[in-house]
Amino acid sequence: VMAASPSILSLRLAIAVLVVACPCALGLATPTAILVGAGIGAEQGILIRGGDLLEKLSQVDTVVFDKTGTLTLGHPALTACRLLDHADCPDTARALQLAAAAEQGTHHPIAVALRDAAATQQLPSLAAQDFQTVAGGGVSALVEGQRIYLGALDWLQGLGMAVDADIQAAAGETIVALAIDHHPVALFTIKDELRQGAAAAIAHLQQMRLHFHLLTGDGPEAGLAVAAAIGISPKQVRCQIKPEQKAAAIAKLQEQGHIVAMVGDGINDAPALAQADVGLSLQGATDTAVETAGIILMTGDPLDVITAIRLSRRVMAKIRQNLFWAFAYNTLGLPAAAGVFFPMTGLLLSPATAGALMALSSVSVVTNSLLLNYRKMQLRPG
C-alpha cells in the first residue's frame, strides 16, 4: 500500500468511504421493525393501518373506552319491560310491538335487542314511517298515526316528557323509555354482558400506570355499574354523553398534554376515534368506526388493547436499537475507511472489505428486527 501512488491511494480511500457511507442500514432500521411488528400484530388479530400509528400508540398515556360493544359484548337482550303508572298502553306486548316498529332500519344493539324480543314473542310487525334519529339520544317514528319516541331518559326529558320512575340498573344494563305522543308509557331493561377480558384489561392498564376513562351515552346507573364491575373509578366515568361531547372530552385531555387512545365500536364513537391520537375499533364494529379507527382488534377482546400497546413499545425499542447500531457502524466505519487509523496502525479498508461491512450492517439490522418474533407470544396478557 505504501508503494501506491497518492492518486491510487486517494481513489481507494474515496471508494471505501462511499461504500461505508451508504445509508442502507439507516434506511432499513425503521421499516424492517415496523414490517415485522405489523406481521406479529396480524398474527394476533391486530390490524395496523400504518407504521406511524405504532409510534403514536407507544407514546399513549391515556386510554378512553366506550361501553356498549366495547367493554360489553354489544349483543344485548331485553330482560324486562314494565308499564309506567297511568300509561296509555294496554300491555307490555303492545309497548314492545311499538318499540320494535320505531326501531326498524336501525342497527344499534338496543334496536336489535328489541326487534329480536318482538320476533321471539311472535308479535306482528307494524308499519312505520317518518323516522328520525338523534345520535346519543334515541329514535322517533310515526306508527299507526301515533308519534312514537324511544330512547334515553334524559333525551325524553329534554323533549319535555317527565319520566317518573325509580330506576336501578345493574352492571351491563341499559334503561330506555317508550313514549306515545309525548306521554311516557313503558320502560325497557336491556342487558348486555361484559366482555370476558374487560376487567383484566383495566387491571393491566393500572399496572402499566396508564390513565383510563369510560365515556358512555347510557345513564349513570348503567355506566357506573359497569365501571364498578371492571374496576374503573366513578371519577373516570362520564355518562349520558353525546358523540360530539366524546370528541370534545378527548380534545380536552389532549390540551392537558395527554396522548390519547380511543377504543370504540359504534357510529357514535366515530368523532372520538377521529379526534384521538390513536383510534382502536373492535371486531363487529360499524363500518364508520372501522373506517375511522387506525387499528382494528379482530378478536374483540379488550385485552388486545394491552397487546397492541406492548407491541408498539417493543417495535419502537427495536427501531432505536437499529438506529443505534447503524450510527455506530458509520461512526466507526467512516474514519477507518477514510484512513484515519492508517498512519498509526497501518489499517486500511479496501473497497471490498468496506462493501462486506456495509452488507453486514444491513444484515445485522434486519436480523435485529426479526428478533421481535422472539417471545412474541408473551405480548398477550396471560
The residues that are catalytic are 66
Grid coordinates standing for 111? 334496536
- In a 3-state reduction of DSSP, which class is residue 230? helix
Q: List the beta strands (DSSP E) in 58-137.
A: 62-66, 77-83, 128-134
Beta strands at 260-264 and 278-282: parallel, antiparallel or unpaired: parallel
Chain centroid, CA 183 distance in Å: 40
Q: List the beta strands (DSSP E) in 74-127.
A: 77-83
> What number of H helices and E strands is found in the chain?
14, 13
Dist. CA 41–CA 124, nearest whole Å: 47
Dist. CA 107–CA 92, nearest whole Å: 23
Sign of the CA dihedral running 38, 267, 209, 254: positive
Length of the chain: 382
Question: Using CB atoms within 10 A of its CB, is residue 63 exposed (0-12), middle (13-18) or buried (19+)?
Answer: buried
Find out whether 367 and 293 touch, Cβ atoms under 8 Å: no
Which residue, 243, 301, 304, 305, is CA-closest to 274?
243
Per DSSP, what are the bridge partners of residue 80?
A: 189
Chain centroid, CA 69 distance in Å: 12
Grid coordinates standing for 315? 417495535
